[in-house]
Amino acid sequence: MGWLSRLFRREGKGVRMTSYDLLAEVLGGVLAKSGVHVTAATAIQCTAVLACARVIANGLAQVPFKLYRADGRTRMEASAHPLFSLVAHGPNEYQTSFEFRHMLGLHLSLTGNAFVWLNRVGDRIVEMLPYQPGSVTVTRNGWEVTYDLSTKDGKRVRVPAEDMWHLRWLSWDGVCGLDGVRQAREAIGLALATEEHGARLFKNGARMSGLLTTEINLTQEQRKELREAWQSAHGGNENAFKTAILGGGMKWFPLVSPNDQAQFLETRRHQVEEVCRAFGVLPIMVGHYDKASTYASAEQMFLQHGVHTLGPWYACIEQSGTQKLLTPEERAKGYYLRFNANGLMRGAARDRAEFYTRLYGVGALSPNDIRELEDMNPYEGGDEYRVPLNMVEPGSAPERTEGSDGKA
């Protein structure tokens, strides 16, 4: 049995599926048409990919993520539940909640999968430990799924599905998420190729490659010596702009087009947009600005980022966590996980003040509710919900005043 057959061996009626990272490590990555091997490790060296992954990870980590309980129309933090501290403060002794979700966002955005081992004592989750996607092998037999962890000491640990929180992004088969880097390998490969081109260009002193020609017949040894002498005298940044003296009827012919003719900068800018399109991130969020955009349009783009980019990510993790971390009985009692996206308003004091004012004006927030959101202490009497004088409680009859019935 060959190594490739062993890699994808069948066990009974089940099919053993290795993660893409493991395959990329064995084969050296997926070769894009640009000639660049694209893996999660090489893709993140592309600034556009790094920025997109960082934007998604930041959005998942910077807002509060807590366990709530719904009792009718009442919503409250379930701080007494053992899971509350794990998701709100830290899932293990090594990571904060921010670091944990930051890591999950990076794994999900680049590989489409994130794996968290649920350490239980009895039926209670006491610790959540994330594992790199490349260290987890997913085995599916029908709809029964198991996970094999590869530890750093070379051991393999079989983990049943109930003890693995497997988060997946876009999925074709419902078991594993699609690898984002692999799906966008052509756009990422071209972006990496243009970066390498620019780096090599300036390494050679911004000089194009070309031919030294002469009518004199040269031996193989003479050609080698001439090439080495030319490279030593004119190659690299330290030799840039030196004067070249050609003798013996030699002439220089460039072999490639100058960067302005090859639209080098235009290609680099376009690849930023292509990578952003693949990751579903607005270019303005990675520092790629449109000269035609204004402050008003940029403000709408930031709002669109929260709604159309981060919104689906929030829903994905909320629903996955509620289903996997809570028992059916707990879900029936109203427990659920939720991101508080109001945390995104922290950086805009004016918008935050207007938001509070509007909700306070219709009685949706009390003064103490607002103070709690701002991490301020409550004050006595601040729990009252107030409405304008021209508004009354729903269902109540308006007060009749003198002359309201048409009589003096």
**How would you write 270-329 as a 3-class SS string?**
HHHHHHHHHHCCCHHHHCCCCCCCCHHHHHHHHHHHHHHHHHHHHHHHHHHHHHHHCCHH
Specify the pLDDT at position 206: 47
Specify the pLDDT at position 3: 38
Specify the pLDDT at position 182: 81
The count of domains in the chain is 3
Specify the pLDDT at position 26: 36
Bridge-based pairing of strands 136-141 and 14-17 is antiparallel
Specify the pLDDT at position 17: 43
Cβ neighbourhood burial of 389 (10 Å; 0-12, 13-18, 19+): exposed
* Pair 300, 374 in one domain: no
Q: For residue range 156-193, list pLDDT tens digits in order.
A: 899 999 999 999 988 888 889 888 788 877 777 777 77
Specify the pLDDT at position 288: 73
* Pair 273, 326 in one domain: yes
* Pair 70, 127 in one domain: yes
Q: What three-state secondary structure class fits 376?
A: coil
Cβ neighbours of residue 259 closer than 8 Å, sequence gap 6 or more: 201, 265
Specify the pLDDT at position 224: 78
Specify the pLDDT at position 229: 72
* Pair 234, 340 in one domain: no
Its domain, for residue 213, covers 209-255
Where do we find the tokens 């960067």? 259
* Pair 236, 376 in one domain: no
Low-confidence ranges of the chain (pLDDT < 50): 1-28, 206, 237, 241, 261-262, 406, 408
Cβ neighbourhood burial of 374 (10 Å; 0-12, 13-18, 19+): exposed
Specify the pLDDT at position 318: 95
Q: Which of 311, 332, 347 is the last residue of a domain?
A: 347
407 domain residue, yes or no: no
Specify the pLDDT at position 18: 44
Which phi-psi region, left, alpha or beta, contains residue 323 (left: φ > 0; alpha: ψ -120 to 50)?
A: alpha
Q: For residue range 279-333, list pLDDT tens digits in order.
A: 989 888 888 777 666 655 666 777 788 888 899 999 999 999 999 999 999 999 9
